[in-house]
Amino acid sequence: MKFSQSSLTVGELATGQALSVPVFHIAGKDSHAPKVFIQANVHGAEVQGNAVIFQLMKQLEQMDVRGEVTLLPLANPLGINQKSGEFTLGRFDPITGVNWNREYLDHKTDIASWYQQHRHLDDKALIAAYRLQLIESCNAHLNSEWGVTTGKRLAVTLQSLAHQADIVIDLHTGPKSCKHMYCPEYDVAAASLFSIPYTLVIPNDFGGAMDEAAFCPWWQLTEIANSQGRRLKVPVAAFTLELGSQERIDMDDALNDAKGILAYLSQRGVVSEYVQAAEMARYACYLKDYKKFHAPIAGMVEYKAELGHILYSGETLANVLRLDRFGTHEELTELVLNQDCVPILHFASASVYQGTELYKVMTNLFKLNL
Amino acid sequence: MKFSQSSLTVGELATGQALSVPVFHIAGKDSHAPKVFIQANVHGAEVQGNAVIFQLMKQLEQMDVRGEVTLLPLANPLGINQKSGEFTLGRFDPITGVNWNREYLDHKTDIASWYQQHRHLDDKALIAAYRLQLIESCNAHLNSEWGVTTGKRLAVTLQSLAHQADIVIDLHTGPKSCKHMYCPEYDVAAASLFSIPYTLVIPNDFGGAMDEAAFCPWWQLTEIANSQGRRLKVPVAAFTLELGSQERIDMDDALNDAKGILAYLSQRGVVSEYVQAAEMARYACYLKDYKKFHAPIAGMVEYKAELGHILYSGETLANVLRLDRFGTHEELTELVLNQDCVPILHFASASVYQGTELYKVMTNLFKLNL
Amino acid sequence: MKFSQSSLTVGELATGQALSVPVFHIAGKDSHAPKVFIQANVHGAEVQGNAVIFQLMKQLEQMDVRGEVTLLPLANPLGINQKSGEFTLGRFDPITGVNWNREYLDHKTDIASWYQQHRHLDDKALIAAYRLQLIESCNAHLNSEWGVTTGKRLAVTLQSLAHQADIVIDLHTGPKSCKHMYCPEYDVAAASLFSIPYTLVIPNDFGGAMDEAAFCPWWQLTEIANSQGRRLKVPVAAFTLELGSQERIDMDDALNDAKGILAYLSQRGVVSEYVQAAEMARYACYLKDYKKFHAPIAGMVEYKAELGHILYSGETLANVLRLDRFGTHEELTELVLNQDCVPILHFASASVYQGTELYKVMTNLFKLNL
Amino acid sequence: MKFSQSSLTVGELATGQALSVPVFHIAGKDSHAPKVFIQANVHGAEVQGNAVIFQLMKQLEQMDVRGEVTLLPLANPLGINQKSGEFTLGRFDPITGVNWNREYLDHKTDIASWYQQHRHLDDKALIAAYRLQLIESCNAHLNSEWGVTTGKRLAVTLQSLAHQADIVIDLHTGPKSCKHMYCPEYDVAAASLFSIPYTLVIPNDFGGAMDEAAFCPWWQLTEIANSQGRRLKVPVAAFTLELGSQERIDMDDALNDAKGILAYLSQRGVVSEYVQAAEMARYACYLKDYKKFHAPIAGMVEYKAELGHILYSGETLANVLRLDRFGTHEELTELVLNQDCVPILHFASASVYQGTELYKVMTNLFKLNL
């Protein structure tokens, strides 16, 4: 089976040209199999997800696809095309500064009331009605009288597509980063089905990101239903995958990551073939234990700690060179942490202001069991 | 009496140079008179407040100053010095995109418990203890183990100074804007003491800005005290003044605005002299009625509505020129609103993406009585 | 007669989307009448030329058009869509820093040899052959083995169209500016046919801009022909018009400027109707007398000199406010020039580094006779 | 012997703060030994030169220094502190777009006349007089009536210091780059004294960069003197070293590069110790054979060719991924060159517009003999 291509309009440039996103679609042969939505490159510099989608399509076209699959690479044309010097300045709206991945809609539905009105429906009908309500809420927001911002239009347009799926995967990268993923607490078992060594276990709350926008309303509905004695499992799964460093395309590694995603999709019955996740030790930490270390002083930074490897308390994280202090004991400052951690990502530039977010490290890690 | 000058360090540049803010101080002769803190130019392009502080100092040095006055022009050296093309790109941190005026600290104190512990104090002692607690909370945040961001360091350093004052005024401007001010709901009578025609009445909540950071904890304390039968007035007043358009220095207009601020300070007993506010009609609207109108289409914009004047329903707000649609009925689109309003500010550029925040308008205005 | 619209591809964005420019064309009924090429908005923030082209089309569609007219508004889609904060950062390539209006091709033809080979042709044939050679040179450059830069592709694509015309007009604006135009020395009489009060008389050399790219090769050919006794007039006229300030659309003023251009076109026989240039005093200065005044100190700038009006020696050009020097004689520095001039434009921002180009002023002006 | 530190003011920020550069100086014990000037980080993201200067100072303080050494790390504070997103946007002036390394002064002295007036001097006096004249020309330029740009002030201030030296070394890096250096044609033998595998042999002309600004006037003087029968060797040597990739600090590698520079200084008698250059094959090409390969199409780029290694004709340079063309033969385009080359550097970002300078490659390389 081949993917068909269409185009999604997500905005308009000042010259009038449409901002459009390529949409790839395959119907799947079993309408009962889970529907999948995967997008990539919402942050402009985080390009590797496009290569992963490319490899995923190459693989899927050779496979027996049961569930509907919708893929949106290059999902943020404004962010991707926004250069500033030799790098892509695509992390936030260049006009407002708002992070492109914090613009998804919090529906703020009164879910308790909604459930009261729809509790008579069976599970399938309940889910269908709620899904429709989420999509309509997106559309209403997009058509509000006073308009919506550029970023909101992009995000909510993507979100209205994502709400149609049962599995939502948002492909990102860190700045300089090892592979890791975000997984909601209620679905932590799923993290072992991917081929990613580090998992951040996030609360089931809405924080503005796509994964949260996709699973939160469902988790909330499930909570209410369960509190009223109905046994309902959260019907939507959503994850953010951070596939290494930004500003990097590696086709071979993309194939690895595509296979990792296929392993999860295989487990979920989206494809008939069995695809095995890579064998590896998997570790996780809770979001509250994911620490941002900010540069205590400004200067030129030699990043020393290896990403994705344990750094013991007292070992060198980075060195800060301060030439203006040459000849003093502050000319070269060794930065250390006083607890064990695994550095997951570090800042992209080697010169920093005081306060720059230098490293993100996992602390209090625990092992995930397959 | 003359102002003395000192310097406040708020960060460090990558080269190691300190980011410093000039601080001007006059002691005041009466320790019972209110203490004043005024800062300007936290957003890099909003420079006119510096001229206002200049004129204010010139005036105050000729007056009988009773209350302590602390003035910080050029309060955000990183933002002010951040150019991008011919304009100042100083609205948000160039690395993170975070708005410099959304970084102030929410103390998240358990005020109820705190009050329980300190309710035995008389008003003066209670206020002193609470003030100290706010300042210590700022300092603790600045010294946190994992560090703080560049923007947090700037904001909380300024905030710790502001907490020492009874009157806090933050001088901003709009992009292209008429004069207006933000005033908390509990203190709306104060708006008539300034010389500013339009007032936004904001809720008593914390939203991240300096004015809110300054008055919120005090309003919350007062609420709790009052709920327990103590009659306490909110002891701190805080306002944001929006003094026209950004990227503009006008020394004569700055003198007018300085006099408007002096009118308020005079009423509050900060100076012995009587300074009269300008005679003018003053209007206000609630924040919920302050509407952002986003460009429904992209294009070249002719801004037509005059700022600070009523625009009746159906009158032209702006025209959008679309040359790619020349010869169709969409070549020139007239934008109108379907309710009366007063346009307060509009976007700085004449070419916009779809979704750009084009105008902010007040609706449901009401007259303020002097 | 109506304009027909087509689209010119000038590049490709990272997402793969084509960068395209709308092209409007009217054939003209007389193949002997001069052909006209007008473009606008090569610098992203200089939008008013689009409105002028709009008004020009509205007028021309009511007129008897004899010469072929080709109009390219929105000529630099990459530059126009490049925002940085609330302004358009479209003066230079965001990656390389190269000014979009310095990328036109210097053909570096050995014109003497070329003329030797073609001197036997009559004037009309000579001109046609030379024109063809210029266009082929553009095309060869665009197809060079190692590729061309993004900016070169845009510029040379536009240039190859411009070379087909006899009259080339490039519509720009200053930052904050009064109306003025660039006119080559050999064609200074033409400046009186427009409705623009100030003219810069530029040498007949190539400096990288569109107007120079259009007329230089022709002036050089004419020089060689004339030196060999042939009486040839420069067959191509080219001008840059600076129509006020950037980031501004004014439809009424655009109509005025369209009429000014029509006055020139009328004189040249492009339209049958007689259109009169506005009556006004017109002044000019040589490029060598067009002075850039750089900020001698940094600070907050109050621009005082009125653009387009004479400023006598010793009068205030601008004031520079330095709050860090409050209380000293350097707190407010008055900037003056020691010769008479007419300030033509000033910097867009009110805060400047030392060395910022603060004003451009004409000195040694002389009156142009109609 | 220890380095002494002072500070050089090179401009002023909008807030009034001085832009200053740390200057490290050691006198040297032999006034006849060559004087050395080394600067680093004129392009903001090219930080590794600072670490090299650090290591150089550490080494020199242990050595017997004969010639005067002046070192300026962090030479462009404005560029270094200019962030845009997570990277340093320090390649060009953010206001004007002018490359910081194209602002050095072309003295445009009439050297022939100057030599006529000074030919009676002996070599030492001639050189001293000429040196003085170059420095005075810099100073005159800095003090010109209409002021100078921010970039010119920085460059010419640095240049006036560099003119005092006999050996000028400017430390840069490429974007993603292997080590290489620029060496003037007349001094190509010097390239073998450093520890750098690839050398660009540049003409003896002025192109705006520091190395050219330092050696050109001397080469021109020498040419004239020699043409009049005087045997004069070019008394000043100047090189640009490109020490790997930008946004990278590596202290160990910096020590290697410091030793490479010491090897040259040792040969020139600046230090008494003998320091041997690393043994390696060294290759060079002429600037005309240093080719820029521009992206023939836009897209996501997988950089394949290894920097600093030969790439044979027809081998893959890079792949360009175009997801909008998925399913066609243009979905993944392999870029190849039709001649052998050594790729020296490539673009920093993995997504490119059409026309982006993708690779710089050396062609027609030849071996340098030690």
Q: pLDDT, tens digit, for every residue of B308-344?
A: 999 999 999 999 999 999 999 999 999 999 999 999 9
CA nearest to B336 within chain A: A146
Percent of chain C with pLDDT over 70: 100
- Mean of the pLDDT values across residues C199-213? 95
The verdict on A196 and A304 lying in the same domain is no
Asked which of A280, A301, A336 is the last residue of a domain, the reply is A280
Q: Give the one of A11, A97, A355 whose C-beta lies nearest to B147's C-beta.
A: A355
pLDDT of residue B367: 97
Say yes or no: A153 contacts chain B, CB-CB below 8 A.
yes
| Domain end point (choices A241, A260, A280) | A280
Contacts of C302 in chain B (CB under 8 A): 51, 249-251
pLDDT value of position B71:
98
B274 and B297 assigned to the same domain: no
Q: Determine the Cα–Cα distance for residues A289 and B132; give it in Å rounded to an integer.
A: 31
Q: Who's near C128: CB < 8 A, 6+ residues apart?
A: none
Specify the pLDDT at position A370.
60
Considering CB atoms only, which of B15, B81, B95 is closest to D74?
Answer: B15
Residues D116 and D233 in one domain: yes
How many percent of chain D have pLDDT more than 70? Answer: 100
Residue for token pair 């004339």: C226
Is residue D370 a part of any domain in this protein?
no
What residues of D are in contact with residue B15 (Cβ under 8 Å)? 74, 77, 80-81
CATH code at position B8? 3.40.630.10
Query: Once rounded to an integer, what is the mean pLDDT over residues A85-94?
Result: 95
Contact of D45 with chain A, judged by CB distance below 8 Å, is answered with: yes
Which residues partner with B319 through β-bridges?
B302, B334
Structural domain includes residue B370: no
Mean pLDDT of D12-37: 97
Under the banding of pLDDT at 50, 70 and 90, the label for residue A369 is confident
If asked whether residues C314 and C268 sit together in one domain, one would say no
Asked whether residue B191 is domain-assigned, the answer is: yes
Q: Do D146 and C91 touch (CB under 8 A)?
A: no
SS3 (DSSP) at D285: strand
How does residue C370 score in pLDDT terms, banded at 50, 70 and 90? low
Whether residue C27 has pLDDT greater than 70: yes
Q: Which of A9, A12, A15 to mutate to test the interface with C (most CBs of C within 10 A)?
A: A15
Instruction: Note the Cα C83 to chain centre separation in Å.
Output: 22
Does residue D321 belong to any structural domain of this protein? Answer: yes
Q: pLDDT at residue C171 above 80?
A: yes
Strand bridging mode A198-202 / A180-184: parallel
What is the pLDDT averaged over residues C294-316? 98
Chain C 91-120, residues with CB within 8 Å of chain A CB atoms: 94-95
B75 plus B221 within the same structural domain = yes
Domain check: are B261 and B146 in the same one? yes
Lookup: tokens for C64: 């008897």
Q: Chain A interface, mutation test: which of D7, D89, D246, D247, most A Cβ atoms within 10 Å?
A: D247
Where does a domain end: B262, B280, B298? Answer: B280
pLDDT score of D242 more than 90? yes
Could D14 and C353 be called an inter-chain contact, meaning their C-beta atoms sit closer than 8 Å?
A: yes
The DSSP 8-state label assigned to residue A109 in this structure reads -
Identity of the residue in A50, A349, A353 whose CB atom sits nearest the CB atom of D87: A349
Interface touch B298/A325, C-beta < 8 Å: no
One-letter-per-residue 3-state SS of A236-301: CEEEEEEEEECCCCCHHHHHHHHHHHHHHHHHCCCECCCCCCCCCCEEEEEHHHEEEEECCCCEEE
Instruction: Tell me which residue range forms the domain holding A351.
Output: 289-368
Q: What is the DSSP string of D40-93?
A: E-SSTT--HHHHHHHHHHHHHTTS-B-S-EEEESS--HHHHT-EETTEE--SB-
Q: What percent of chain C has pLDDT above 90?
A: 98
pLDDT of residue C369: 77
Mean pLDDT of B43-68: 98
pLDDT of residue D85: 94
Q: Would you state the pLDDT for residue D1?
A: 84
Distance from the A337 Cα atom to the nearest Cα atom in chain B, whole angstroms:
9
CB contact under 8 A, B147 and A95: no
Q: Are C370 and C192 in contact (CB under 8 A)?
A: yes
**Residue in B84, B300, B326 closest to C85 by CB:** B84
CA dist., res. D58 & res. D43, Å (int): 24
Query: Looking at CA atoms only, how far is residue A89 from chain D in angstroms?
Result: 6
Distance CA A259, CA A241 (A): 13
- Which chain B residue lies closest to A9 (C-alpha atoms)? B354
- Residue ranges with strand state E in chain A: 4-12, 18-26, 36-40, 69-72, 83-84, 87-88, 167-174, 176-177, 180-184, 198-202, 237-245, 282-286, 290-294, 299-303, 316-321, 332-336, 342-346, 351-352, 357-362, 366-368
Residues within 8 A of C (CB atoms), D 302-331 only: 322-325
Instruction: Tell me whether B269 touches chain A (CB under 8 Å).
Output: no
Rg of chain B, C-alpha, whole Å: 22
- Supply the mean pLDDT for chain A: 97
ipTM metric: 0.96
Mean of the per-residue pLDDT values of chain C: 97
Please indicate, yes or no, if residue B101 is contained in any of the structural domains: yes
Mean pLDDT computed over D312-322:
98
| pLDDT of res. D19 | 97
| Per-residue pLDDT tens digits for D176-206 | 999 999 999 999 999 999 999 999 999 998 9
B31 CA to chain C: closest CA distance, Å? 25
Q: B221 with B239, same domain?
A: yes
Q: How many CA atoms lie within 13 A of D235 on its CB side?
A: 24
3-state helix, strand, coil in chain A (%, to 5): 30, 30, 40
Residues 55-74 of B with CB under 8 A from C: 57, 73-74
Give the pLDDT confidence score for residue B1 in this predicted structure: 84
Residue D200 shares a structural domain with residue D299: no
User: Under an 8 A CB cutoff, do C321 and B250 touch?
Assistant: no
Query: Which residues are bridge partners to B177 per DSSP?
Result: B345
Of B24, B57, B91, the CB nearest to C85: B91
Tell me how close the Cα of B82 comes to any Cα of chain D, in angstroms. 7
Q: Is the pLDDT of residue C139 over 80?
A: yes
Interface of A with D in 14-33 (CB under 8 A): 22, 24
Residues of chain D contacting A350 with CB distance shorter than 8 Å: 47, 247-249
Interface touch D16/C325, C-beta < 8 Å: yes
D291: Cβ–Cβ under 8 A, 6 or more apart, which residues?
A: C146, D341, D360, D361, D362, D363
pLDDT (0 to 100) of residue C205: 87
Residue of B16, B293, B298 lying closest to A12 (CB–CB): B298
Same domain, A187 and A335: no
pLDDT for position C183: 98
Say which CATH number the domain at A330 has.
2.40.50.100
Determine contact: A88 vs chain D, CB below 8 A: yes
CB contact under 8 A, C15 and A80: yes
Which segments of chain D does DSSP mark as H helices, in order? Answer: 48-60, 77-80, 111-118, 123-142, 150-162, 210-227, 251-267
Rounded mean pLDDT of D215-234? 96
> Searching chain B, which residue's CA lies closest to the CA of residue C49?
B300
Q: Write the pLDDT tens digit of every residue in A142-192.
A: 999 999 999 999 999 999 999 999 999 999 999 999 999 999 999 999 999
Query: Would you state the pLDDT for residue C88?
Result: 96
Name the DSSP letter for residue B288.
G
Q: In what order do the strands lie in the sheet with A342-346?
A: A176-177, A342-346, A357-362, A290-294
pLDDT at D165 over 90: yes
> Is the Cβ of B352 closer than 8 Å to some Cβ of chain A?
yes
- H-run or E-run covering C115: helix C111-118
Q: Is C297 in the B-facing interface, judged by CB distances under 8 Å?
A: no
D249 — contact with chain A (CB < 8 Å)? yes
Distance CA A123, CA A219 (A): 14
pLDDT at A324 over 70: yes
Once rounded to an integer, what is the mean pLDDT over residues B222-241? Answer: 96
Choose the closest CB to D94 out of B16, B84, B95. B84
Q: Do B241 and B306 fall within a single domain?
A: no
Residue C196 and residue C310 in one domain? no
Residues of B in contact with A359 (CB under 8 A): none
Sign of the four-CA dihedral D246, D252, D253, D255? positive
By the 8 A CB rule, do A214 and A143 touch?
Answer: no
HEC states along D294-320? ECCCCEEEEECCCCCCCECCCCEEEEE
Question: In this complex, which chains have at least 3 CB pairs below 8 Å with chain C?
Answer: A, B, D
What pLDDT is recorded for position B370? 61
Q: How far apart are the first and last CA of chain B?
A: 32
CA distance B64 to chain A (A): 41
Residue B263 included in any domain: yes
Same domain, C230 and C296: no
Contact B54 C326 (CB under 8 A): yes
D3 touches chain A (CB under 8 A): yes
Look at chain B and report how many structural domains it folds into: 2
Is A350's CB within 8 Å of D2's CB? no
How far is B69 from chain A, CA to nearest CA, in Å? 30
Chain D contact present for A253, CB below 8 A: no
**Spatial distance between the Cα atoms of B105 and D197, rounded to a whole number of angstroms:** 54
Are D51 and A300 inside 8 Å of each other by CB? yes
For range A278-287, the mean pLDDT = 96
